[in-house]
Amino acid sequence: MQFPKGFEEKYRQLLGEEAGVFFDSFDEKIEKGYRVNPMKIASDKLICNEKIPYTSFGYFGVISGKSIEHTTGVVYSQEPSAQFVAEVASPKPNEKVLDLCAAPGGKTTHLASFLQNTGLLVSNEIMPKRAKILVENIERFGVRNCVVTNETPKRLAKQFPQFFDRILVDAPCSGEGMFRKDFAATQYWREDYPQECARLQREILHEAMKMLKNGGELIYSTCTFSPEENEETIAWLLHEYPELTLLPIKKYEGMSSGVPEWANGNEELTKCVRLFPHKMRGEGHFVAKLRKEVSEEKSKKQKFLKTNLTREQVSLWRGVEQDLLNKKLTGTLYTFGSELYLVPSEFLEIDKLKIARLGLHLGTFKKNRLEPSFALGVALSKEETKRHLELSEEQFLTYVSGNTVLLDEPIHSSGFYQILVLGNGLGFAKVVRNVVKNFYPKGLRVY
């Protein structure tokens, strides 16, 4: 690989005798991986591949983006080393968790796998186009307890003071760890770029600290090798915030410790973890985990979001709930225009935040009726719905291409049915006798 000017000299100096093997690894095969969604039904063929040893849900291997498993959210393709980050976070059920720099959604969906649709997950992405991709990935994964925001960290910090139990900052970085996977990353690297990124990272961390509650944990990660963005940033964080304690992270075979000499010499930095491509089957990453010690400072009183539905809208939702669902869903009902959402009960009243997804999209209000959403049909298991229809693999291909599906036998009771493929939801569709009308979103169709 042709490296940017200054990169090779920098790491020959930092790595010494190890540098040759490090540079050689950039020409080696790229490892692929995926995670299995614990909230879905996974086939045996997915879990017979080689397990990634340091993750709860990960395997080495390749998954097609057009496969049934990907389309129904049973799997999420994610580079193996990247899977270690949310594994370090490992949120507990019912916690309030923030993924501050979340797109495209790999770490958010991984965090959701631990939360199991309990508590609150706020997933933020500052770029609108990337936030849209984030929403799509979260919906396909069937996450119910996630609010997606499209905001700056500073504006979020004003809304959520000392609120979150756990915050993940997978910071925007110089991307050196992705050079092998994404050659384009080498094109914008320059010698002063890591220092420029480090300044941005510190601004983000400053806002993240305002949102971390007493006793909460902050997980910081990058996909770069740069000491300026890694050890030096953590050393700065510990100096700026004495209430933070660096926590040890369990290291697996091939993982390296942080290097104190690459920052201020603080031996605590060995508790950080580095993943190098010449030592691991994956790309480059850095991870640190810190706890904010409990102080006597009192948290501000918080006002939780209240429903804004009219009586008529509540009645229409209850009708759909009674007609289609086997159990009531818990949360706060809230409308944005004609769209109905189920918001996690722990979500606060907000003032003019940009929201890309306010919890689980339940449906769309139309004239005197509520049409159930695609996202709801993906998120629910077949045990949670009263009417569902299993498609064959051939019918699946017809449906995701945007076409109607003809059934061999007519359905006696017309109406909306949850569409299933290999036991997992693919949205709701209206069935009239032997015709399944196509309700698969146009933007997701495969032609």
Q: Is 0.85 topped by the overall pTM?
A: yes
What is the domain partition of the chain in residue ranges? 81-292
The annotation status of 184 as a binding-site residue, yes or no, is no
Check residue 446 and give left, alpha or beta (phi > 0: left; psi -120 to 50: alpha).
beta
Could you tell me the CATH superfamily of domain 81-292?
Vaccinia Virus protein VP39 (3.40.50.150)
Residue 223 appears among annotated catalytic residues: yes
Write down the pLDDT at residue 147. 98
- Whole-angstrom Cα distance, residue 305 to residue 285? 37
Q: Tally the residues of the chain.
A: 447
Write down the pLDDT at residue 350. 83
The annotation status of 359 as a binding-site residue, yes or no, is no
Helix/strand/coil for 200: helix
**Cβ(168)–Cβ(100) under 8 Å?**
yes
The annotation status of 91 as a binding-site residue, yes or no, is no
Write down the pLDDT at residue 1. 87
- Whole-angstrom Cα distance, residue 74 to residue 420? 12
Q: Are strands 120-124 and 146-149 parallel, antiparallel or unpaired?
A: parallel
- The 3-state secondary structure of 297-322 reads CCCCCCCECCCCCCHHHHHHHHHHHH
In terms of Cα–Cα distance, which of 356, 333, 377 is closest to 125? Answer: 356
The annotation status of 300 as a binding-site residue, yes or no, is no
What does R_g of the chain's alpha carbons equal in angstroms? 23
Write down the pLDDT at residue 299. 61
- Whole-angstrom Cα distance, residue 301 to residue 319? 36
Write down the pLDDT at residue 300. 67
Exposed/middle/buried for residue 236 (C-beta within 10 Å: 0-12, 13-18, 19+): middle
Write down the pLDDT at residue 202. 98
Q: Which residues of the chain have pLDDT under 50?
A: none
Span 103-119, pLDDT tens digits: 999 999 999 999 999 99
The annotation status of 125 as a binding-site residue, yes or no, is yes
In terms of Cα–Cα distance, which of 144, 76, 135 is closest to 115? Answer: 144
The annotation status of 102 as a binding-site residue, yes or no, is yes
In terms of Cα–Cα distance, which of 216, 214, 291 is closest to 249? Answer: 291
Marked catalytic residue, from 146, 173, 223, 272: 223
The annotation status of 176 as a binding-site residue, yes or no, is no
The annotation status of 82 as a binding-site residue, yes or no, is no
